[in-house]
Each structure stands twice: as C-alpha cells, then as structure tokens.
C-alpha cells in the first residue's frame, strides 16, 4: 500500500485515544440475562471487558433473532454514535463488565477528534466485513455449515484477542439461542451437534466447545473465508485486541 505511514499512524493514534477514553470511563457491571439500558437510553458507546452479550430482535410471532454476539474486546454502539440506529436491544449472556461512554461525550468529543473518528470508521469497516461473511455463510450453507461457521468465528475472535490459546472455549449460548442466531430450531441444532460429535469434529457440552478436527470444521464452512488469516490485521499493527 502507498504511504502506509500516514493513515496507519492516524489509525493507531485513534486506537490509543479511544482506549484511553474507555480506560478512564466509568465501569458498569451487569448480571447474566439483563437488558442493557433498561432505564431508558442505552445510547452510548460500550467497551466489553468481560463476558458476552448479544443484540436481538423479537418478532411478533414470538420468535427471536439474535443479530450480533459481542465478545470481550468488542465495542457496542458504533451505529448509535452516528445517530443512525432507532434503538438496539442488547441482552447479556453472562455477567458482563463494560466501560461506558455516554452518547453526548461520544458524539461531541470522540467524533470531533480526527484520528479517533478514523479508528471508529475502521471498526465499522471490520464489523461490516464480518457481517457480510456471516451473511454468505447463513445464506449458502446448510445447518452444519452454519454451525461450523459460527463456532469458527467465535474461535478465531477469541484467539486473535489472546483470550484462549487452546482449541477449547466457553460458549455461553443455550442451544435455543444458537438457533435464534443461525435461524434454525433448537431441535435441529441439537441433532447437528450430535452428528458433529459422533464424527469427532467438534464437541459442545455444558457450554464448552472443543474443536477436535479443525481441518474438517473449516471444510464445512468452506470458502466462506470466515476467518481471514489472523496475521493480516496485526501486520500493520492494528488489532481489536481486548487490552
């Protein structure tokens, strides 16, 4: 790339600005199963330090769609900063600790600093990329492929942030919630999990995922590019690492 110093330096600067702002922001802790911003405005920018959360949407027929799953290190509320979202409904999957920047401060101070705004745009861009890849997986893979794509996505995100080093991690989603995320029923999720376990590809029991055969799991989520080589972010010194 041309003149890498300029933009990348700005991005790196923005990243540390945002990190510093979050570092001195008030913390908030929620128990598992709580709604974010139940007391009116959940508008604001949140940095997840510990725990998992998700954004969801309830249909009138009672079904629920889980639109996004947030892991430690993720930033919640990127859209809100630019005033585009009506209201995002967020739900904690585990106990969660997060740093909170109220929306006024986020809009007035953060976005008026150029490097920070650039970095936020970069975060938006990364997230768009992930969503688009997941969309490809959801729309073109069968249930096994979708599940594989999801498990691999969480796996690579956790690994990239150095939150795990083995091929095992804790997945605080019930099978029903996995179904709501992938657009499948609990019953079918259950069957697929059983078959994946029988084939010694991956085991999920008691909210604990163990990848037995990474190669075959990746093959199921074939060509989705679901996890770009974990090097290409770090190559230019940027990452979404939790710390």
Residues that bind DNA (CB under 7 A): 142-144, 174-176, 183-188, 190-194, 205-207
**Cβ distance 149 to 135 under 8 Å?**
no
Please state the closest distance from residue 70 (CB atom) to DNA, in A.
Answer: 18
Neighbours of 150 (CB within 10 A): 21
Q: From the list its own copies, DNA, none, which binds 230 (C-beta under 5 to 8 Å, kind-based)?
A: none
How far apart (Å, rounded) are the C-alpha atoms in residues 128 and 52? 20
Query: Which of DNA, its own copies, none binds 144 (CB below 5-8 Å, type-dependent)?
Result: DNA
Residue number, 85 or 197, with CB nearest to its own copies: 85
In whole angstroms, give the CA distance from residue 116 to residue 97.
23
- 42 Cβ neighbours under 8 A, 6+ residues apart: 36, 77, 87, 88, 90
In the complex with DNA, which residue's Cβ is closer, 117 or 220? 220
DSSP state for residue 221 in the 8-state scheme: T
Cα–Cα distance list, 20 to 10, 45, 84, 110, 233 (Å): 15, 14, 25, 11, 21
What burial letters (b/e) apply to 97-116, b meaning 16+ CB within 10 Å? ebbbbebeebbeebeebebb
Q: Shortest gap between Cβ of 168 and its own copies (angstroms)?
A: 27
Nearer CB in complex with DNA: 143/163: 143
Are 141 and 133 in contact by the 8 Å Cβ rule? The answer is no
Residues at the interface with its own copies (CB under 8 A): 1-3, 6-8, 10-11, 57, 59-61, 63, 65, 67-68, 78-79, 81-86, 103-104, 107-108, 111-112, 114, 117-118, 120-122, 124-129, 131-132, 134-136, 138-140, 182-183, 222-223, 225, 228, 232, 236
Alpha carbon distance 208, 20 (integer Å): 33
Q: Which is nearer to DNA, 27 or 194 (CB)?
A: 194
**Of DNA, its own copies, none, which one sits near residue 155, judging by CB under 5 to 8 A according to partner kind?**
none
122 binds, among its own copies, DNA, none (CB under 5 to 8 A by kind): its own copies
- Cβ proximity to DNA: between 14 and 179 the closer is 179
């Amino acid at each position: 790339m041309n003149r890498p110093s300029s933009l990348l330096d700005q991005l790196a600067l923005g990243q540390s600005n945002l990190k510093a702002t979050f570092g001195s922001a008030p913390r908030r802790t929620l128990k598992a199963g709580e709604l974010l911003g139940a007391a009116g405005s959940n508008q604001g920018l949140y940095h997840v330090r510990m725990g998992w959360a998700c954004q969801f949407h309830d249909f009138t027929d009672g079904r629920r769609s889980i639109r996004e799953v947030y892991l430690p290190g993720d930033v919640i509320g990127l859209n809100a900063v630019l005033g585009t979202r009506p209201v995002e409904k967020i739900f904690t999957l585990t106990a969660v600790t997060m740093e909170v920047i109220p929306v006024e401060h986020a809009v007035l101070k953060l976005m008026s600093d150029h490097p920070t705004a650039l970095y936020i745009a970069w975060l938006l861009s990364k997230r768009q990329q992930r969503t688009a890849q997941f969309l490809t997986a959801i729309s073109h893979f069968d249930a096994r492929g979708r599940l594989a794509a999801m498990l691999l996505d969480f796996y690579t995100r956790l690994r990239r942030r150095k939150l795990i080093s083995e091929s095992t991690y804790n997945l605080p989603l019930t099978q029903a919630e996995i179904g709501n995320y992938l657009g499948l029923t609990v019953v079918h999720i259950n069957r697929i999990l059983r078959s994946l376990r029988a084939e010694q590809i991956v085991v999920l029991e008691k909210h604990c995922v163990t990848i037995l055969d990474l190669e075959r799991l990746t093959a199921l989520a074939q060509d989705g590019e679901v996890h770009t080589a974990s090097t290409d972010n770090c190559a230019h010194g940027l990452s979404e690492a939790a710390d």
